[in-house]
Chains A and B, each alone.
Chain A
């Protein structure tokens, strides 16, 4: 493993598999236990440095670190020196002086974790940067797929929605490809980046054509403000062409699953009856997030510095 987890490309196939296997072992070790705590990272300090509000991701990392007995410091940009104009570099130097062994960073600017990694000695874990990547989300998604379908090799994953602005999509395309899955992106052309042709994924515009050939459908959140920027004419038209409703769900193969990184816009990209169906893994994804992040923290922090 590299020292930092900044993007999916930091994990080769062996590393990614090790993370998933480790998460599975942790899940098994903790299953049914009253005490869900392990002493592994006792004495280590993990800083959650969140420049964007993301309660679910922060809590997931916090729980992961605490279950490994690390000391956790939540450093939220709001109401701190950061909101008073302290630069990322000064914040990094502060964390460094405090002896952070790992910095989990969520930032609105793509590449901010890369910058941070230049300034701190500890491991940097990207918890979502701008429209770039969100590698632990991809890991938990891959873990969930493997748990449900028993494999990743050859699994046909269709990612639907605002790929252009999605860090989840970028990380998933990279990681799922690394792990042998076949990824197809489906979106209105306005929500696909110029240059998407260089990604290891098929690209299509017609959701109905792809659904019967999908083992996994991953619905991305579509933000209403995209509508105002003319990425699509209206929420209704988007939903009609790219939303996953009960009718479309019947076109999926029998054992196909439906994923969503959350938070969902019910009725927009995903209908309530789909989100709540047995195909939906949305709740499992949340639970798997904790064990996957425990695995990442263990593998990055548990060992000797190389």
Chain B
């Protein structure tokens, strides 16, 4: 793979703030993940007419997982000509850290009309950190239906897991220190596509 497919600048643990992904990097990584999802779908039901894509549901975890899921779906459609079901699952009411973090406004939970029963659900989130959001999302999914299997796709895996959770699709693994923050900005929510690493301001 050509070097140009790698992010423009890299940031090492303990270093100061910097841009991890530029706008162009985000687009490239999303495209690559879309291809990986297409490949995975094809393994669901080998030989099916649509490459398994009709069994695939991308469920975004708000806030930024939701637009990310929509982007992935639109890239998949661009590459294959087949549309993919997209949903969102707000996990706020499933979090186990409400006492610590305080209440927040809820975001929509929307499932495709066909539901998720018996399908391959891929949870989409921007950053994988402790794993608690994913655990909450798994709990939410359990109440929403019974998928055949559930997988996880994240734009950035920054380590420091507190639960036995592992992503199936990773845009980029980024070793970080706990004191750092990884911020994903997307045009839909923040006006710009970029991923930043910053030192947490205490």
Residues of chain A touching chain B, judged by Cβ–Cβ distance below 8 Å, are 1, 18, 21-22, 25-26, 28-29, 33, 35, 37-40, 68, 298-299, 302-304, 306
Q: Which residue of A lies closest to B109 (CB)?
A: A29
B102 interface contact, C-beta 8 A:
yes
Please classify the interface of chain A as helix (H, G, I), strand (E, B), loop, or mixed, using the class held by over half of its residues.
loop
Q: B96 → chain A, closest Cβ, in Å? A: 8
Contacts of A35 in B (CB 8 A): 143
Whether A29 contacts B100 in the complex (CB less than 8 A), given A37-B143, A38-B143, comes out as: no
Select the residue from B92, B93, B107 with max chain A CB neighbours within 10 A: B93
Contacts of B103 in A (CB 8 A): 1, 298-299, 302-303
Bound-state CA distance A29–B98 (Å) is 18
User: Measured between alpha carbons, how far is A303 from B94 in the docked complex, in Å?
Assistant: 13
- Establish whether residues B94 and A39, one from each chain, have CB atoms under 8 Å apart when the complex forms: yes
Contact of B93 among A1, A18, A33, A40 (CB under 8 A): A40
B139 is an interface residue with CB less than 8 A from chain A: yes
Q: Quick one: closest B residue to A41, CB to CB?
A: B98
Q: Which of A40, A298, A302, A303 has the most CB of B within 10 A?
A: A302
Flag whether B99 is at the interface (Cβ < 8 A): yes
B108 touches A28 (CB 8 A): yes
**B138 to A: closest C-beta gap in Å:** 12
* Complexed CA–CA distance, A94 and B143 (Å): 36
Find out whether the CB atom of B102 lies under 8 angstroms from the CB atom of A304.
yes
- For B78, list chain A residues within 8 Å (CB): none
Taking a contact as CB atoms under 8 Å apart, the answer to whether B105 and A38 are in contact is: no
Shortest Cβ distance from residue B63 to the other chain A in the assembled complex, whole angstroms: 13
> Contact: B108 with A39, CB < 8 Å?
no
Q: Which residue of B lies closest to A24 (CB)?
A: B106
Sample 14 A-B pairs with CB under 8 A, ordered by A number.
A18-B105, A29-B106, A33-B144, A35-B143, A37-B143, A38-B93, A38-B94, A38-B143, A39-B139, A302-B102, A303-B101, A303-B102, A304-B98, A304-B100
